[in-house]
Structure formats: C-alpha cells, structure tokens
Amino acid sequence: MTDGSEAIARLLLKQQIEDFLYHEAELLDERRYEDWLALLAADVRYWMPMRRNVKFGELEREFTRAGQDINWFDEGKDTLTRRVQQILTGVHWAEEPLSRLCHMVSNVQLLHVTPSVMAPVEVTAKCRFLIYRNRVETETDLLVGKREDVLRRVNEQWLIAQRKVILDQNVLLTKNLTFFF
C-alpha cells in the first residue's frame, strides 16, 4: 500500500469513529439507554478519576489512580446495565423528573490503531466533550473535559471497550452523576 492510501484509510477511519461518537451522544440525549448499552463491550471499563489541585512539579498526583484510589466511578457493563434499569423504572429520585441533556463531542483524534489503519480492530481515540444538563426548573450543570476511548470492532460494529473520562473541574457542583458521559 502507498502512503496516499494509508492517509485516505486514516481519514475514513477517523470519520467512522467520529460518526460513532456522535451517534452515541444522540442516543444518550434521546434517553435511548438500552441502545446505548448495546454499544458497550461485555468487558467494558468505564471510569472517571478524581482530579486534585497540585503544585507545579507534582503533576503525577493530579489524578486518582485506577484500582488504588477512589474515583468518581469505575464501572463495568453489569453496573452500567443496572443503572440503566433503575432509571427506566421511573422510580429514581435523582432522575424524577428526567434530566434534559445535550452531549457535544469535538476534537476527535486517533491516538493508536491496532493492527493498522488498513485493517483496524481496535482504536484508541481522544475527544473533548461538553455536557449540558437541565433538571426541574432551576438546576443547570455544565461539565467539560476530555475522554479517552478504546473502541473495538466486533462483527463489523464498533463497541466501547474502555472509556476514561477526565473532567476539567476538580470540584463537582452537580448534585449527582446519574447521567452518562
């Protein structure tokens, strides 16, 4: 293959990944949670470390560590499925009435492709997000940050195998984290 065909393959792959992420955002905004769950691999890891304010030179302490420190959440498919089932009962104090959400995704970058852009099986992608949430009459939340996703192709479909969510703020002013990133 020539460098030109690899460049075209990379652009097409990037467009596929962007389309996947935009579709996922739309599912969440439309509260199609069961369809969203179908986009998650059986072994998905969905986690968000906490962020600390640290001095210059101590950046290795800025985020809590996976498996060692407390995180905002660190979940698998079973826990995410139970969260969705609870929301769908209609008896969920934090989602009664249901939140109105808008997920915006941008700055999508492909960080790593395995085994190659010509035959991708797994893609590590980074993106920025903004989530607007409005609940009842007066509760409004804005959450901004970045995500690093590992997407895996299974039966010609992309699935989320891992998602790491990094919030730009270190203090959460939102009353709960019942929504998905």
Number of domains in the chain: 1
Q: What is the CATH number of the domain that holds 90?
A: 3.10.450.50
Dist. CA 127–CA 105, nearest whole Å: 7
Answer whether 112's CB lies under 8 Å from 120's CB: no
Q: What is the spatial distance between Cα 100 and Cα 14, in angstroms, rounded to a whole number?
A: 29
Q: What is the pTM for the complete model shown? A: 0.89
pLDDT of residue 95: 75
pLDDT in tens, 114-154: 998 988 999 999 999 999 999 888 889 999 999 999 999 99
Q: Is residue 116 part of a domain?
A: yes
Burial of 45 (0-12, 13-18, 19+ CB in 10 A): middle
What span, in angstroms and rounded, lies between the C-alpha atoms of 10 and 31? 32
Residue 169 C-alpha from the chain's centroid: 16
Residue 177 lies in a domain: no
Q: b/e map of 114-125 (b: 16 or more CB within 10 Å)?
A: eeebeebeebbb
